Structures are given as C-alpha cells and as structure tokens.
Amino acid sequence: MLLREEGGYSLIELLTTMAILSVILGGVVTLFVAGSNADADMNRRYRAQYNARLALDRLRRDAHGACGLATGYTSSSVTLYQYSGGACSSATFTWCTIGSGTRYALYRNSGTTCAVGPRYADYLTTGAVFTYTPQNTPSGTYTLARLTADFQINLTPTKTVNAYRLRDDVAFRNSPRS
C-alpha cells in the first residue's frame, strides 16, 4: 500500500480554483444586477411617462368641456369653469403643480383651491406647466381661447438624456365666440 498514489487536490489547487470561480461568478452577478437595475429604471420612467400622458388626456377632456378659466390663474395652477346647460356653470376643476426643486407633481381637484387631490403625474421638472392664451389672440385671428400644457418629466434631472416632454395646446370649445 502506497500513500502517494492516492488521487485528490492539494490545498493550493483548491484555493486557486475557488479564486478563479469567485472572479467569474462576481462578473456574472454584476451583469445580472446591472440588467435588473436597468429594467427597474426603465419601468419607472415608463410609468412616469404613461401617467403624464394620462394626465394630459384628462386635462384635455376637462379643457375641451370648459368655457373659461377663473381669474387668478398662474403657470402652476388653473381653475376651469365647466360648461353646463348652455352656459358657464359654477362647477370647477383645478389643476395645479406642487413640489420644489426639480420634482413636482400634477394634481386635479374639484373646486377652486389647490388642495392635494388625486395625483395625475409625478417627476415634473418644473412647476410652471400652464400658459393661457385668450380668444382672438393675436387680434383678428378669430381663435378660441387655448390652454397650453407643457409637461417635462425626468426621474433623474441630472441626466438630461432621460428627459421626456409632452406639450399640447387645448382649445376651450365652449369659450365665447366673437
């Protein structure tokens, strides 16, 4: 019986194999984590863009049915008078942005105040999203009153490549004509 003929691995061979395996597995795990993070980031950006599109669609429906804006509107808050029974009614909806820095959210609330109601969009980079153009502007054009909504969405404002912008001019179909 000779002990030298027994097969097996030495401690140095085992440690070398484990070191090589850990380097390979570390690289594979890093690739999977990076892919998972990229997928999660893409899903968050998609949700923010989708919510902004839904908000613009809802704002468009409200504005098309409105007959005008309440006085005191700003670039971050507008109150729409609804058209009902052949005339402007006292029913209103207020759209407003609330936030600070580079993160604002868009809310819609029944009434004339900008109390926090249902949030329609998030991650807006600015609170100044509304511009109102009165009817017949410029003079002699015979146009309806318009509300411009300009939503700039970005989850990471430091990376401008991830920015998404929705802009639309919505005519007040029930605004007075002259």
Cis peptide before 134 (omega within 30 of 0): no
| pTM of this prediction exceeds 0.75 | yes
Distance CA 44, CA 154 (A): 10
The domain locations on the chain are 11-171
Confidence of residue 113 (pLDDT cuts 50, 70, 90): confident
Whether the pLDDT of residue 78 is over 80: the answer is: yes
Strand partners, 97: 106
pLDDT at 120: 92
Secondary structure (H, E, C), the chain: CCCCCCCCCCHHHHHHHHHHHHHHHHHHHHHHHHHHHHHHHHHHHHHHHHHHHHHHHHHHHHHHHEEEECCCCCCCEEEEEEEECCEEEEEEEEEEEEEECCEEEEEEEECCCCCCCCEEEEEECCCCCEEEECCCCCCCCCCCCEEEEEEEECCCCCCHHHCEEEEEEEECCCCCCC
Return the higher-pLDDT residue of 93 and 3. Answer: 93
Confidence of residue 15 (pLDDT cuts 50, 70, 90): very high
What is the CB neighbour count within 10 angstroms for residue 102?
Answer: 14
Distance CA 64, CA 90 (A): 16
What is the CB neighbour count within 10 angstroms for residue 165?
Answer: 12
**Structure confidence by residue, pLDDT tens digits, 21-76:** 999 999 999 999 999 999 988 998 899 899 999 999 999 998 888 888 888 888 99
The identity of residue 44, as a single letter, is R
pLDDT at 159: 83
- C-beta of residue 151 within 8 angstroms of C-beta of residue 54: no
Whether the pLDDT of residue 88 is over 80: the answer is: no
Tokens read off for 14 = 């085992």
The position carrying tokens 């690739």 is 31
